[in-house]
Each structure stands twice: as C-alpha cells, then as structure tokens.
Amino acid sequence: MSIEVKNLSHIYMQGTLTEAFALTDVSFTVEDGEFIGLIGPTGSGKSTLIQHLNGLLKPTSGTVLVDGVDIWSKGVSLKEIRRKIGLVFQYPEQQVFEETVFDDIAFGPRNLGYSPEEVERSVEAARQVVGLDKELLSRSPFDLSGGQLRRVAVAGILAMNPEVLVLDEPAAGLDPKGRKEILDNIKKLHESGITVILVSHNMEDVAYFCQRILVLYDGTLIADGAPREVFTKEKLIDSIGLKPPEVTIVMRKLRQRGWSVREDVLTVEEGFEEILRCLGTKGVALI
C-alpha cells in the first residue's frame, strides 16, 4: 500500500489573529514495506504531518492519496483509512480507559465491527507481537507499569491489523530496556511486512532502524534520503539544531585529525570496524 502526499500545506486557525503555518508545500511518497524515519526539531510540524496521513486533520491545501485515492474525496471511509494506517500517538498510554487490558486492546477491533472471535484473535496476535504476558489481559490497565502500558497502547493499534504503522516517539520516557524492547518489536513488525514511519528525536535509533529519512524544519521538508546521505550533510543538520549519531561525530573528528576513516558511519559496530581497518593500514604506532 502506498501513501502519496502532494503539495500539502496546513494553516492552524486560518483567518484569525493567531493564524500559524504548520506545514508548507510538503510532498513525498511512502512505498510498500519501507521503514521511514521522520525527524526535525520541536515545533517543525512532525505531529501535524502524521495526523494528515490518517485523515485526523484536513489539509488547507494539497492532497493525501492512499493507494492513489484522495482520502478526502467523497465515498472514502475515514474509518477504513484509519484502520489501514495505524497511528500511535506520543505517550499513547494516556489514551487507555477500559476496565481491563483485554477490553482496551479490543476497543479498536470492536469499533471496526469485528465479531467476538475475530476480536479475540486479533487481541491475541497483538499481545504476542508486543510481548505482553497473557495473565495481564484480565488486569486493570491502571495497575501496570509505564513500559507495560505503552505496549498495551501499541497493541491497541496493532489489533486493528494496520498495513502502515505510524509511531510518534514510541520510546519517549521509557528506560533503556523498555526502549530497546519497543524498538525491537517495531523492527520485527517491519520484517513481517508492515510499512513503518517512525517519528523520533533520537538520531541513533533513526540511523540504526530506518532505510530512509525525512527531515522537517519549520513546516517544510528539507531533506529526503538514505540515513548515510542525510547525516553526512553536516551543515544542513547542524543548522537546524539536530545532531547526527554520536559515532558519526566521532568519525568526523577523527578525520579532522588525519585518520582516513569513512565519514558516513552510522552505528557503533561500523565505527569499530572502520577504526580497526584504519589501524591495520597505519600500524599500531599511531596510538
């Protein structure tokens, strides 16, 4: 399934004193099976952009096409769009409200009119994906820990069997262990064939997981490409107040000191290999 965003602009409170341009002429296409990272400083329009993808916000101008069909044209069921494109909000645990974990995960499927058996089946599948203990299903969501609750919330979206999963800072506020678990889950989901769009402030995560990066700044799309391309655009990244992964900065500094390491290193493992390779050619005398 593909999503095509064409010349999308959004203005909040148009025609009032507090009118604000949130997005200006944004265009890009999401192909089936991609893993895309959406980055940009606070207030750059990331959240506004993803709310357009499943029809929560209506563009001021421009269109959003899902499988070639404008989602705001007549006869398109927004409910169906929202099923296909699952949107996980930031701090999704705050949307939990049911008496039991099971009922909360089942909220989406029930809204879609699934039969009780189908509901049961999709809740079970979602529970397994996020790695939630089965006995937790009968507990009250308000008894769970932050990390567990986050998984319940993500499972609530997964239970609707989305084809595209959009996540706004899914790891925000979690401890390192919870962070790794949720990101590994997302990676597994992507491997199972789901298209993923990940909004994140953490450049390490984005560099490690994503095949393609979109950079938003002040409501405009200023870069769109593979992580290696984007993060080596040193000036561009610095000028908007973002930071490439730490290891990329280390490599850059090493080069400035005369090491002939590659600059487009994105992960610590890669960096390790590069330094070893360099030491091999230069000899141990350097250290």
Partner 1 sequence: MMSSGAIIGQYYPTQSIVHSLDPRAKILICIIFMIVLFVGNNFYAFLVTGIFTLVCVFLSKVPLKMLIRGLRPIVFIMIFTMALHIFLTPGPTMFQIGPLKATWTGLMQGFFIGLRLIILICFTSLLTLTTSPIELTDGLEDILKPLSKIGVPAHEIAMMMTIALRFIPTLLEEADRIMKAQMSRGADFESGNIIERAKSLVPLLVPLFVSAFRRADELAMAMEARCYRGGEGRTRMRELKMRKIDFVAILATVIMSCFVIYTRIRFGPVLPPSMV
- Residues of this chain that interact with partner 1 (CB under 8 A) are 12-13, 16, 51, 54, 56, 79, 82-83, 86-89, 92, 94-97, 107-108, 111-112, 142, 156-157, 160
Under DSSP, the state recorded for 74 is T
User: What is the spatial distance between Cα 160 and Cα 24, in angstroms, rounded to a whole number?
Assistant: 32
Nearest distance from residue 75's CB to partner 1, in Å?
Answer: 16
Q: Which is nearer to partner 1, 79 or 255 (CB)?
A: 79
28, 5 Cβ separation under 8 angstroms: yes
Q: Which is nearer to partner 1, 144 or 266 (CB)?
A: 144
Q: Which is nearer to partner 1, 85 or 251 (CB)?
A: 85
Return the C-alpha torsion angle 15, 20, 25, 27, nearest 10: -120
Q: Which is nearer to partner 1, 83 or 212 (CB)?
A: 83
User: What is the spatial distance between Cα 61 and Cα 10, in angstroms, rounded to a whole number?
Assistant: 7
Nearest distance from residue 262's CB to partner 1, in Å?
Answer: 41
Q: Which is nearer to partner 1, 110 or 228 (CB)?
A: 110
User: What is the spatial distance between Cα 102 and Cα 57, in angstroms, rounded to a whole number?
Assistant: 29
Strand partners for 199: 38, 168
Nearest distance from residue 44's CB to partner 1, in Å?
Answer: 18
Nearest distance from residue 56's CB to partner 1, in Å?
Answer: 5
Nearest distance from residue 253's CB to partner 1, in Å?
Answer: 41
Strand partners for 220: 217
User: What is the spatial distance between Cα 249 and Cα 243, in angstroms, rounded to a whole number?
Assistant: 9
